[in-house]
Structure 1
Amino acid sequence: MADLTGAPVAAPGSHVGSRAEYAARVLEQLAERAQPGERLGTKVSLRPACGVSVGTFNEAVKLAQSRGWIVSRSGPGGGIFAAERSAVVRLGNSVLALDGDAPSVADAVRMRDALDPLLVEDAVWHSSAIDVREMRDRLRDMANARDDGDPVAFVRANWALHRKIAEVSPSVILRSVYLSLLDIVQAHTRGVGGTETSPLPRYIAERYLLHERLVDAIEAREHDAAQRLIREHNNTAKAR
């Protein structure tokens, strides 16, 4: 079986990902093929297709729902439904599924990108050892999400890293504006998918390495290298 990006999905019990992750991807694929709002079935009818226990299936439902692919409803006429996806916005070689106005979120992403070089400059000159350690904690979260094959967790850990970089800035106005823009993007993102031209796992791996090098440059106070990397970061994010 292939995942939403075309990469193989590991069978239950495989070393790649957990059984809950496998089951969540099965549900996500069903939702992707269905019409928004379409009923996929009940937990009882869908669980055999995933080949997992009741507890593991419930965990998978929570995973798929947190990523914005499905909605679980209880009571008469309830079950598992494909989530409504009213808007999308391109973020590099990935697509964010949104619950709000795509143009507004795209504007927030564009303005956030424009402020990145200023915040990275401040991070180079003002980051303490504790700040850098916290940045590396966020990198570790990104690496774990990458290894788990969880694009939503990866994007959120990525945003957490950028949030930490922004918090280093001594400029109250710059911090406030940037974090407000980031909040807009985060609040409206329901899921993450790949594109036809770029498998999401490869894109995630490349983005992780770029951010790792960026934190290295910040720690070493290598201003020119950090600015080059953030330009590469934002140019890649604009790629179509």
Structure 2
Amino acid sequence: MPERVHETLRLAVDLVILTVRERSLQMLVIERANKPFQGRPALPGGFLRSGEDLRAAAERELAEETGLDGGALHLEQLATYGAPERDPRGRVVSVAYLAIAPDLPIPTAGSDAAAAAWAPVDQVIGDLAFDHPRITQDAVDQARTRLELTTLATVFCGTTFTMAELRTVYEVVWGSSLDQRNFSRKVLHTAGFVEPTGEQRVADIGRPAALYRRGKAKILTPPILRGDSAR
């Protein structure tokens, strides 16, 4: 029998960090300071250290490369990527994470990153290094599905938010306009989705808007499907 050759590999983590800024779906990108792909935009991430948990590695890389606190973000494992040629340095398997947070501050680059910035997903995704375009698209697709089935949309919002702000999250992530009254009716008739705070936000123009907070539900019953609330 021919001798079996076992692959030697390195394990890495990558992070797709999404937020809604300036009415667009934006992601955090770094500029790679080192080879390979030096100077190219990429996802934050890096190699796992000895004895390190995967989530701990993701949070460490986020802090080192951007100055953001991963412990304060919604962080969920996305998928594992292990195509043989995905990294020119050798066989590297990456565990990708999807992170979501309200409008975050401008990140500070550090460690292996020459720069870090927020950028609209549709403008930067095609230029990303490695297989990061595929990872990013998978993350966006997962976020879109999560908005249909779970209360994840509230994670894009602050501690309190208006119904219009929540609707904007759906419109931005889904990339489609929603009917205002139909959307509000669905949200308010979905048990545990949001809770009224009893307060209002006074705008410079227009009527004051009621403020809400996240409810206790995690799963939407019934779901809010993309086609159901469109204009």
The TM-score bracket by the shorter chain reads under 0.3
Bigger helix share: 1
Looking at both structures, which has the greater relative contact order when contacts are Cα pairs under 8 Å and sequence separation is at least 6?
1
* TM-score with structure 2 setting the length: 0.22
More strand by share: 2
